[in-house]
A and B are shown apart, each in its own frame.
Chain A
Amino acid sequence: MPEPLSNITVQMPRAKLAGLLLFFLGPAVAIYSLFSIYPLVATMALSTYTSDPSGARSFVGLANFETLLGDALWSKPFWNALGNNLIFFAVHMCVQNPIGIALAGLLSLPGVRLKGFYRTVMFLPTMLSVVIVGFSWNLILSPLWGVAAGALKAVGLGSLFAPWLGLESSALVTLSLMSVWQFVGIPMMLIYAALLNIPEELIDAARVDGLGQFRIFFHIKLPLVLPTISLVSVLTFVANFNAFDLIYSVKGALAGPNFTTDILGTFFYRTFFGNQLQLGNPTMGAAVATVMFFIILLGLCLYLFLVQRRIRRYAF
């Protein structure tokens, strides 16, 4: 509950209040509505139109969505991109978040020195552009340069090396891991902050009862930061289903080899702008964006109605 508002502002004359609201809220609401909400709505509206070669648009209802989900020419790449996107998300959930939690747990142990230094270093990749990260890893994993192959050979695992980014079987997982490497800092920081907010007395009481650090972490700290972990999960979900930069800069708009790294973001870009194989199609692009919107909305609703509610009940 916010603290009570001041009496003076409550007693303000209506006209004066309206003027102040217009002055303070006007610019933000105008820019936000015009360049964020309006385009979203207009894109959804556009997804119910089709344009002929002359550029004239006509209303077609949900026909674009029928094409997208029913016509094999469209539905095959769409389901492929959605499936790849789910794998991309699954790798983040199974690798990025556990590593983030583990690092946060280690950093929050009592008496660990150089915390500030470790945090700064580990968060560094998150500050860089995805494009730069993608290209740097592209070079490192390249058989031409041989850094990754050499590193593996040095520890006696040379036979494991393969051109992972070029193989259909491993390109997507490799790209996902590159993204994990970059963004591990976010779960680490948010969970670290949540761990710091746990009252000292709780931890002390557990220690007096003879619990080791390991059990304190799993039985006391971890359940208490569950809300943060689910927040991190939903942030990961939205970011992953909206991802584009990494695949585009490492693999190009065609998301090779043979579309095995194609995710919804790159599929949307190709549909909207076209590429060597097809002409750009703004109305179908709008339809893809609308489907992406509903996928993200579905994830958010699941989070709000299932996870959030259960955690509230658990907390009280």
Chain B
Amino acid sequence: MTTDQRARSIGVHLVLIAYSLLAVGPILLVVMNSFKVRSAIFGSPLAPPDASTFSLVGYEKVFRSSHILTYYSNSLIVTLVSMALVLLFGAMAAWALTEYRFRGSTALALFLSIGIMVPIRLGSVAILNMMRSAGLNDTLTALVLVYVAQGLPMSIFILSEFIQQIPKDLRDAARCDGVPETRIFFEVVAPLLRPAIATVAVFTIVPIWNDLWFPLILTSSDSTHTVTLGVQQFLGQYITDWNSVLAALSMAILPVVVIYVILSRQLIAGLTSGAVK
């Protein structure tokens, strides 16, 4: 490597390191300070907690004065049920659209793709009316129904691309053996879609976990709040109590970061795969 190339390589890394620091710095700062006593948060915000400044007082406060565990379990239930339904119904619809020829299939595909670009949020006024009249107001079911409707178009689009890549011979071989269509889908095709889960997750599941809007308009009691809404309201209430605020923020950040770091390889592969070009 010539000196010129080496200098350029160092320059590239400096820029990338600088941007990486900008990306994680604020998150690190919040998480780090959530473990410190109040005087250290203000006295030396950039220093990591040590033996004399370490404190969990903020976390105790969050556990004591909010229903954070209920919020977590609500978010988990809503996200996991929505994810299961988005993947199941999305894969079934994608299979029918790519595998069978029928009149109106192009129109149906277009109809389903409206939801990719037009945000369902714009229908909120009618959604709230519907949920009220169906008695589903302030239930997790209402959230799941809306999120499944929101996630389906993108998941159908992504899963169709994956299904098209599965060799045709595989299904036709099964068909010649007289295997019914439903079993071909559930036993031959569906298991092959596993790699698509990560891509669908990035585009439909993460926004569900992070959403503030629908919990805000559809849920009104503590027992149905999700983490995003629960933490948002807690922060508004305790804005001057820095220990609690930093702890609540960290509790919302950490599970996402842990799962992201574990799955980042698949998530990023999913994001950069050919499905979205």
Contacts and interface: CB of A to CB of B under 8 A. Distances in A.
Nearest to A190: B276
Nearest to B114: A37
A189 B271 contact: yes
A187 to B, nearest CB: 12
Interface residues of B, number: 99
A242 B96 CA distance: 32
Contacts of B100: 5, 9, 12, 17, 20-21
Interface string B145-160: 1101110110010000
Interface stretch (A62-70, A163-171, A289-297, A305-313): A289-297
A39 B120 contact: yes
Given A8-B172, A24-B92, A121-B20, A35 B146 contact: yes
B123 A32 contact: no
B97 interface: yes
B59 interface: no
B247 interface: no
A181 interface: yes
A118 interface: yes
A82 B266 CA distance: 39
Interface string B206-248: 1001111100110000000000100110010000001001100
A99 B18 CA distance: 13
A146 B42 CA distance: 8
B246 A128 contact: no
A298 interface: no
B126 A137 contact: no
Contacts of B90: 28
A54 interface: no
A146 B45 contact: yes
Contacts of A43: 122-126
Contact of A129 (B46, B117, B228, B271): B228
A20 B96 contact: yes
Interface residues on A, range: 35 or more
A56 interface: no
Contacts of A273: 217
Contacts of B216: 248
B115 A20 contact: no
Contact of B26 (A137, A194, A272): A137
Given A132-B252, A145-B45, A6 B23 contact: no
A36 B117 contact: no
Interface string B194-211: 000000000000100111
Interface stretch (B48-56, B64-72, B253-261): B253-261
A125 B156 contact: no
A99 B19 CA distance: 10
A46 interface: yes
B9 A111 contact: yes
B97 to A, nearest CB: 7
A122 B124 contact: no
B29 interface: yes
A98 B117 CA distance: 23
Main SS of the interface on chain B? helix
A9 B99 contact: yes
Contact of A139 (B22, B30, B212): B30
Interface string A100-142: 0001001101011010101111111101111110011101100
Interface string B9-28: 10011011001101110110
Interface in A25-62: 25, 27-29, 31-32, 34-40, 42-43, 46
B95 interface: yes
Contact of A289 (B89, B124, B181, B182): B124
A289 B175 CA distance: 48
A292 B249 contact: no
B93 A248 contact: no
A42 B276 contact: no
A245 B122 CA distance: 14
Nearest to A117: B20
Nearest to A178: B26
Contacts of A123: 264, 268, 271
A9 B264 contact: no
B103 to A, nearest CB: 10
A228 interface: yes
Interface string B95-131: 1111111100000100110110111111111110110
9 contacts: A42-B130, A103-B19, A121-B23, A124-B257, A132-B249, A135-B235, A242-B119, A249-B235, A272-B124
Interface of A: 2-3, 5-6, 8-10, 12, 17, 20-21, 23-25, 27-29, 31-32, 34-40, 42-43, 46, 99, 103, 106-107, 109, 111-112, 114, 116, 118-125, 127-132, 135-137, 139-140, 145-147, 150, 181, 184, 189-190, 192-194, 196-197, 213, 227-228, 234, 238, 242, 244-245, 248-249, 272-273, 282, 285-286, 289-290, 292-293, 296-297, 300
